Structures are given as structure tokens and as C-alpha cells.
Structure 1
Amino acid sequence: MTTWEYDRHRAEVAVQLGLLRETLAGVDLSVVVPTCPEWTLGYLARHVGGAVRWAERLVGTRATRGIPEEEVPGIRGPEGDDPAALDAWLAETAELVVRTMGGAQADTAVWSWSDRHDAGFWARRMTHEVAVHRADAAIAAGVPYEVAPDVAVDAIDEWLEIVQFVQRSDAEDSAAELRGAGRSIHLHATDVPSELNAEWVIEFVDDGFVWRRGHEKATVALRGPLTEVLLAFYRRRSLDSGAVEVLGERGLLEFWLERASFG
């Protein structure tokens, strides 16, 4: 990861937290989140803020192992679901992560659960952790969801990298089933400039899958505005929402969506 990418990601974590706060403003925090049906909006806010604080602690301490939650100050947030207290806690979380990640470099050694062990991993991971859960919050609150095109593109890149990592590292995970030569998926964002290269080809091979950016004929294609492709690919929006188009063997895309896993 370059210094520019790291600076972009670490700043974006705070941007996404700010947008999450805007989404939650004035909303009933007891509302159930349809895309995470075991959560309320209040729980979602705590989950997101807690995840960022955990990552901040890892980077801040230059952790060489995973840190138990009880060792992370303020990870659970304020008691109760007082909106003002929860909002202040999220604001404090944003300030904390900007300050801590600003004191590290992209290649600063930090433990992670992935095959990348540096601060750059956590800046990128938290950007998309917040951005995607912000979509969950927007859906629950019934408000529009927007995300910067470069963030959306990078979120899809990162998701593909995570699923590949899970497939390599956990033979028991459902991602291990994403294999079998001769099949492919094409993701095509239709509303962004060509220089953003917001198209992906996922090709199944005998021992897993590979992916690349590009426009190629595939077994099945998922087309639509970039934000909608992102939401459908992250299983936040139904393929039948009317916002995206599926061309070709829909069953293969459904096979992917059922098995692509975070581990």
C-alpha cells in the first residue's frame, strides 16, 4: 500500500463515521436492521464504533497478537441508547482513530487476522467496515445511501481479496466451494467514468477462483449503478430490487452470494 492510499483510507474512516452519525441523527435506535436482523440501529452503532476502537488499539499499541475486547478502552460505548451519548462516542471514536493512524505508516507492523500485518490493512478494513454498515443503517432508517465511487470500487476489491484469503486459509468455510473451472462472473458498474475501471471478472478455476478488473464475457453478469452493484454483491440489496440487472446464469451468481464469506 502506498502512502497516498494509506492517507486516503485513514482519513476516510473518520469520514464514514461522520456519515454514519448523520444517518442515525433523529432515528429511533430501537429499529431493527433488515440486513442484519439480529441487530437494532443502536447495536449497529456500537458494533461499528467498537470495531474501529479495536483496530485503533491494535495500531496504537503496535500489537503482535489479537487484543481481547476487555483490553480496549471504551469499546462498548455509553450505557443505554441515549442518542446524544452514542453520537458523542462515535465522534470521539473518529477523532481517536485519525490521531492514532496518523502516528503510523502504511507498513507499520501490526497484527491482523489476514495475511497482511500492517497499519495499512486496518485503515482500509475499517473504511469498508464502516461504509458497508452505514448502508445497513441507511436501509433501516429508510434514507438514501451514497458512497464515493473510489471507496465503492475499493470495497469490492477488498471483498474479493478477503474471500480469496478465507478460501485459502479455511478449508471448512463455505468459500472453499467457490471453485470449478469454466464458470465466471462479471460485475459491471454502468454509471462511472471508464478511467475508474469499475468492472470485475471473477473466474472459477479448479482450486478456487481468481479475479481481475476488466470487461469480458462471462457466465453471468451483474450490471447497474456502482452503489447498487456494491450493495447487491455485499448481499445488502436483493437481485430482484430492480436497481440491478442479472444477465446469464443467475444460479451461478446466487451460488457465489450464498458462499462468499468473511470467515
Structure 2
Amino acid sequence: MEITEHIDALRREGLLLADAAARTELSAPVPTCPKWQLADLLRHIGSVHRWAASILGQGLRERPGQAGEFAAVGPVPSDDALLAWYREGHAALVDTLSSTPSDVECWTFLPSTSPLAFWARRQAHETAIHRHDADAAAGVPGPAVDTTLAADGIDELVSGLMVRGRATLRSDRRRTLLVRTTDGVGSWHLTITQEPPTVTTGETPAPADLTLAGPADELYPLLWNRLSAGQARQVEVSGDESLLDLWHNAATI
């Protein structure tokens, strides 16, 4: 996907998230994030948007703040103003990404063609996944994520986030997982050991202990642990299903 496509996705998914929040009580539980209420979700995504915009806007070369903290976001308002605060931060991030020069240099944490490309992609998927959470809190499914965005998000998760040294997807014995889209947009073959997983892609992947095959827009939330295999009605699960438990417990961000 191009940078402009990621920015468009960020804009679209962020507006859908706000729409879901607007028709839901802030105290509503978020089923896909069991420890959260909707207010917690808005505080989190609103802070992430401001954090990312500050890194880009200031051209920060190092991660601001300590690990796990979102620095330079300013005070979080009371619940009465929380949705408006979220909307402002979302719009500001879209504007920052749209106006930042393509050759900007700043801190990132995954390989990418450029820092701007990294942040546009990362924030598009951060927002799309949390839009799914807002829909879950509202109790009404939103529109399916675009197939191209979903496939791109699978790739970012599997080939990027899951192979980082700090990722926790590990196994005492060698195990393999094949993720294959049935709408013609890709496949990912993971080898999981005590070291960071390795991933290969291609149209004719090797067999695996467990294969997940289905449309990208169902595999995307499934792999992000927002959808169970039982809820993903078009995903075919074949092989060692205990690997799904390993994924659910260890493939966390």
C-alpha cells in the first residue's frame, strides 16, 4: 500500500471508531479488551495518535519517554470531553501525516521504506484494530475492513511485529503455522521456536502443523485476537489446533 492509502485508511477507520463511540456509553465494556471500558479505549487511542504525531512533527530521533509510555500527549480530559479530544487527536495525526515531508527522519521500530511510510502504516492498523474494539463495545459489527488493508495488516503483524526480539511468540519445540488468504492476496509461513519466529511468503507455501485459510478481512482480526476461530465463519482451520491457543496466549503486542 502507498502512504496516501494508509493515510486514507487511518482517516476512514478513525471516523468509524468515533461513530461507534458516539452511540455507546463510556462505561460500556470492551469485549475484545476485557480489562477496558470504552473510556479506556478512547484514552489509549487518543494518546497513541498524539504520541505518533509528536514523533513525526518534531522529527524525534529517539523514542520519547520510557517504554510503555506515550509521551508528549498532554492532559487527558474528563469523560464529558473525551470523545471530542479523541476526534481532535485523530484529525491532527491525519494532518501531520499528510503534511510531513517524505524524507523526514525520525524514530521508528520496524523496518520500512521510510519513517513516514512506517508511521502511516502503523497508525492505520492501530486505528483499524481499535475501531473493531469500539464496534464490539457498541454491540454492533461495523463494516468489514477493506481487503487490501486487511492483507497489509496481516503482513505487518506476522512479518513485522511478531519477529521482533521483544515479541513473545515462542515454543519449546519447533512448530509451523501457515496463514493463507483465499481472496488472492498472500500467504505467510511461520516457524515458531525458542527464538523469534521466521516468516516466508509466497504463492506455494510449504505445509504446516496448522493452516488458517480464509478471506483477509476475517484473518486480520483473528490474528489480532479480536475474533475467535468459531466467530470467523469463513476461516478454515486444519491441523494442530493447539497452535491457536499458543497464538492467543503469546502473540500479544
Same fold (TM over 0.5): yes
Q: Is the 8 A contact 1:12 1:127 kept in 2?
A: yes
- 1:67 corresponds in structure 2 to 64
Q: Does 1:150 align with 2:148?
A: yes
- 2:188 corresponds in structure 1 to 200
C-alpha distance in 2, partners of 1:103/1:241?
A: 40
- Counterpart selection for 2:198 from 195, 198, 209: 209
Letter in 1 for 2:229: L
Q: Percent identity?
A: 32
Counterpart secondary structure, 1:175: coil
Q: Does 1:174 align with 2:168?
A: yes
- 1:164 corresponds in structure 2 to 163
C-alpha distance in 2, partners of 1:99/1:250?
A: 44
C-alpha distance in 1, partners of 2:247/2:9?
A: 29
- 1:186 corresponds in structure 2 to 178
Q: CA deviation at 1:174?
A: 2.7
Q: CA deviation at 1:255?
A: 2.2
Deviates further, 66-75 or 28-37: 66-75
Change in Cα spacing, 1:200 to 1:113, as seen in structure 2 (3 Å) is closer
Residues 66-85 of structure 1 show CA distances to partners (whole Å, capped at 9, x for unaligned) of: 22468625462x21x22xx3
C-alpha distance in 2, partners of 1:261/1:220?
A: 19
* Aligned Cα root-mean-square deviation (Å): 2.5
C-alpha distance in 1, partners of 2:152/2:96?
A: 23
Q: Is the 8 A contact 1:188 1:224 kept in 2?
A: yes
Unaligned runs of 5+ in 2: none
Q: Is the 8 A contact 1:179 1:209 kept in 2?
A: no
Unaligned runs of 5+ in 1: none
Deviates further, 134-143 or 249-258: 249-258
C-alpha distance in 2, partners of 1:206/1:36?
A: 27
Letter in 2 for 1:150: T
C-alpha distance in 2, partners of 1:73/1:252?
A: 38
Q: CA deviation at 1:215?
A: 4.5
Counterpart secondary structure, 1:36: coil
Q: Is the 8 A contact 2:170 2:193 kept in 1?
A: no
* Alignment size in residue pairs: 244
TM-score (norm. length: structure 2): 0.85
Map of 1:21-100 to 2, 5 A cutoff? Answer: 21-68=18-65, 72-74=72-74, 76=76, 78-79=77-78, 81-82=79-80, 85-100=81-96
Q: CA deviation at 1:112?
A: 2.6
Q: CA deviation at 1:62?
A: 0.2
- Counterpart selection for 1:224 from 193, 209, 214: 214
- Counterpart selection for 1:134 from 131, 135, 149: 131
Q: CA deviation at 1:98?
A: 2.2
